[in-house]
Amino acid sequence: MSKFIKKITIIKPDDWHVHLRDEKILKKVIHYTGKFYQRALIMPNLDNPITNCLKSIHYKKRILNSMKLKYKFQPLMTCYLTRFTKSKELRNGFLKKIFIAAKLYPNDSTTNSRTGIKNINCITSVLECMEKIGMPLLVHGEEINKNIDIYDRELKFIENTLEPLRKKFPKLKIVLEHITTKDSVEYVKKSNPKYLSATITPHHLMLDRNDMFIGGIQPHLYCLPILKKNTDKEALREVIARGDKHFFLGSDTAPHLCKNKINFFGSAGIFNAPCSLLCYMHVFEEMNALKYFQSFCSENGPKFYNLPINKETITLIKKPCTIIKKVNIDKKNIIIPFLSGQNLNWSLE
C-alpha cells in the first residue's frame, strides 16, 4: 500500500545522537542536521571532551554562533564521564538544564575515548546520583578487551557491564546507543522502556558487514560499533517496523576529514546528516511500516527524555534526491557523506 504514498507529513523529528565537532567542521556540518531536525543531542567527545558545565556552556555557544539561523534548531548537551566526574557538577548541570544526559565511553572504545571509563566501579557514586535525579546515562555499549572479537563487543558489554549495572541501579535511565545486533534488540525489547531504550542509526539499518568490502575496502563505511551480519540488520529493521517504543532515532552522524578516514589508522564514523532522515524513510517504506515512522522519529525519544514533543511538522515527498558528493571544509579538506552522490527516493519538501 505504501508504494502509492507520495507525500508524508510528520511531527518534526529530533536526532538523539549527533557529533557536530567544533570550529571549521562544526560550521560546515551543522546546517545538515538543522535542516531536518528540531533538536539534537550533541555528543561530548571532542578532542578536548566536554566534561563539565563550563565547557558545555561554551561549546553550546559555539554551536549556536555557527548556525545561520535559517532553522529553529536546538542543541541539547551531554557530559562526558571520566573517573574524575563529580556528582555535584553533574547534578548542578542537569538541574540547570545545561546537560540533558551523560555519556559513558568505555576507555579506547571509539573516537576520543582515551579518557573514557576503564572501570565502571570508579563512577558508582556518580551513577547513584544520576539514578536519584533521573538523569539519563547514554552508553557506547562495547566491551573493549584484546581477547574479545570486535563482532562480539556489544554482546559482551551487555553481559558483563550493562546487565550488572541495571541490577545495581534498576531506576537508572539508560540509552544503549547505536545498537547493531539481534542480541541487543532482544535484550532491550524485554526491558521497561522508561529505564532502557536504544537508538538505531540509518547505516546499521541499511548495511551489513559485507558492504564494507564490496569492490574493495570502503573506508567511509567504517564506523563503531562496526557493521554486523545481515541477520542483525534484519532484526533492527523488523523491530522498528513493529513500532516498538524502546527504539528511537539517533543517527550517530560522525564527520571526519577524508584524510583522516583514508589513513594508516582510519577514523571510525559515518557522516550521514545530509541524508539520515531520508534513509530512515527509505527503510520504513521498504518495511511497509510508515505508520510507525513518526513515533520512531519524533515521539519515542522525547518520551524517554521527558521532553515535549515538537509542535512543528516536516513534509517528505516522493521525488528522487541526489545526496551531495562532498562537503568542502577548507581549501585542502573535504568530508564524504554517507551515500555520496547516490540517489534516494524521498526529498524534503
- Tell me which of Zn ion, ligand NCD, none is bound by residue 50, counting a contact when its beta carbon lies within the kind-specific cut-off of 5 to 8 angstroms: none
Tell me which DSSP letter residue 152 carries. G
> Minimum Å distance from CB 111 to ligand NCD?
3
Query: Residue 216 burial (CB < 10 Å; 0-12/13-18/19+)?
Result: exposed
What is the number of other CB atoms lying within 10 angstroms of the CB of residue 134? Answer: 11
* Cα atoms found within 13 Å of the Cα of residue 290, Cβ hemisphere only: 16
- Tell me which of Zn ion, ligand NCD, none is bound by residue 184, counting a contact when its beta carbon lies within the kind-specific cut-off of 5 to 8 angstroms: none
Please identify, using beta-carbon distances, which residue of 53 and 254 lies nearer to ligand NCD: 254
Interface with Zn ion (CB under 5 A), residue from 89, 154, 252, 285: 252
> Minimum Å distance from CB 280 to Zn ion?
16
Answer whether 115's CB lies under 8 Å from 81's CB.
no
Asked if 19 touches ligand NCD (CB under 6 A), the answer is yes
Task: Give, in order, the Cα–Cα distances in Å from 279 to each of 222, 241, 284, 344.
Answer: 18, 14, 9, 8
Asked if 110 touches ligand NCD (CB under 6 A), the answer is yes
Interface with ligand NCD (CB under 6 A), residue from 254, 273, 278, 336: 254
Pattern 208-247, Zn ion, x by CB under 5 A: ----------------------------------------
- Total number of residues binding Zn ion (CB under 5 A)? 1
Distance CA 19, CA 42 (A): 6
> Minimum Å distance from CB 19 to ligand NCD?
4
Task: Give, in order, the Cα–Cα distances in Å from 156 to each of 52, 143, 191, 333.
Answer: 30, 6, 18, 37
> Minimum Å distance from CB 68 to Zn ion?
25
Residues labelled catalytic: 252
Beta strand 247-249 with 174-176 is unpaired
Q: Give the full edge-to-edge strand order of the sheet including 7-11.
A: 7-11, 313-322, 343-348
Distance CA 223, CA 228 (A): 11
Pattern 43-82, ligand NCD, x by CB under 6 A: --x-------------------------------------
- Reading the block at residue 26, the C-alpha cell is 562544526
Contacts of 159 (CB under 8 A, 6+ apart): none
Mapped onto helix, strand or coil, the DSSP state of residue 243 is: coil
Q: At 299, phi and psi to the nearest 5?
A: -120, -45
Task: Consult the annotation and say whether 46 binds a ligand.
Answer: no
Interface with ligand NCD (CB under 6 A), residue from 111, 184, 199, 251: 111
State the distance between the two ends of the chain, measured CA to CA, in whole angstroms: 22
Task: Consult the annotation and say whether 307 binds a ligand.
Answer: no
- Tell me which of Zn ion, ligand NCD, none is bound by residue 275, counting a contact when its beta carbon lies within the kind-specific cut-off of 5 to 8 angstroms: none
Interface with ligand NCD (CB under 6 A), residue from 27, 103, 140, 228: 140
Give, as ranges, the residues between 299 and 328 that touch ligand NCD (CB under 6 A).
Answer: none
Contact residues toward Zn ion (CB under 5 A) are 252
Q: Can you say which residues are annotated as belonging to the binding site for Zn(2+)? A: 17, 19, 103, 140, 178, 252
Contact residues toward ligand NCD (CB under 6 A) are 19, 45, 110-111, 140, 223-224, 252, 254, 268-269
